[in-house]
Amino acid sequence: MEHSPKIEAVNLNLYYGDFLALEKVNIKVPGQNITAIIGPSGCGKSTLLRCFNRMNDLVERTRAEGKIIIDGSNILELDTDLISLRKKVGMVFQRPNVFDLSIYNNLKFGLRIHRMINGKDEIMQTIKVSLEHVGLWQDLKDKLKKNARTLTLEQQQRLCIARVIMLKPEIILLDEPCSVLDPISTLKIEDLLRVLKQEYTIVIVTHNMQQAARASDYTGFMYLGRLIEFGQTEQVFTKPKENLTENYISGRFG
């Protein structure tokens, strides 16, 4: 990795009560690349992802040790501005969670909450740019008053990504974003991520190894709360360094 990482976890431990969900995780996520985190169910990949915007704080009795450094600041510090953090580090979830509102209001919602823009023209312009970014503008420009839940699942997921982009994040976290989508929609979302990585740092958790291999630049393999291996995707899938990684990606366990 030539440049400093965008996200760096240093000796990260995370407890849910007494349960050690993440153990001594050290990872450097490169900026403006797509990093995939793979591993069997329960290995801690979603837990790790949620550390990057401190969504784990919403779970009771969660405790983190170590550091997570984003742009030079340790976001685990108590005085971290969480609202600012979650604007900078946006998240897209497994199931599209568009609000039961019009497409326009879905997108305007974040701007209003964060008091980002007031003028109607400026809001419209921001919406247009975000929808263009996710390839939805042509399809939806005349249907912005339509309820977002009438869109296809793929469109809804794109809308969720647009909603994140509206807030001008630097990092986009995606937790199994394609698991409810059909294969073609999945490929289209992957194509979109490839475009978005030119501007954003993307971290995607997926249980679909083939997706990780296809769509990412870097891959981290986790097992039982530990990061077993991390490297360029081509290297991980052709010459993994760890036997555990080799066994997992070749389907010998998990």
What residues line the site for other proteins (CB under 8 A)? Answer: 184, 187-188, 190-191, 194, 210, 213-214, 233-234, 237-238
Handedness of CA 191, 211, 172, 176 (dihedral sign): positive
Q: Specify the residue, 71 or 191, whose C-beta has the smaller distance to other proteins.
A: 191
Nearest distance in Å: CB 179, other proteins: 17
The answer to whether the beta carbons of residues 204 and 177 sit under 8 Å apart is: yes
Nearest distance in Å: CB 152, other proteins: 15
Q: Specify the residue, 59 or 195, whose C-beta has the smaller distance to other proteins.
A: 195
Nearest distance in Å: CB 161, other proteins: 17
In this structure, the number of other CB atoms found within 10 A of the CB of residue 80 comes to: 16
Q: Specify the residue, 11 or 238, whose C-beta has the smaller distance to other proteins.
A: 238
Amino acid, res. 91: M
The answer to whether the beta carbons of residues 54 and 82 sit under 8 Å apart is: yes
Nearest distance in Å: CB 234, other proteins: 5
Q: Specify the residue, 180 or 213, whose C-beta has the smaller distance to other proteins.
A: 213
Nearest distance in Å: CB 214, other proteins: 6
Q: How far is it, in rounded angstroms, from Cα 244 to Cα 236?
A: 11
State CA 38 to chain mean position distance.
Answer: 13
Q: Specify the residue, 101 or 213, whose C-beta has the smaller distance to other proteins.
A: 213
245 by Cβ neighbours in 10 Å (0-12 / 13-18 / 19+) ranks as buried
Q: Which of 145, 155, 157, 151 is nearest to 108 (CA)?
A: 145
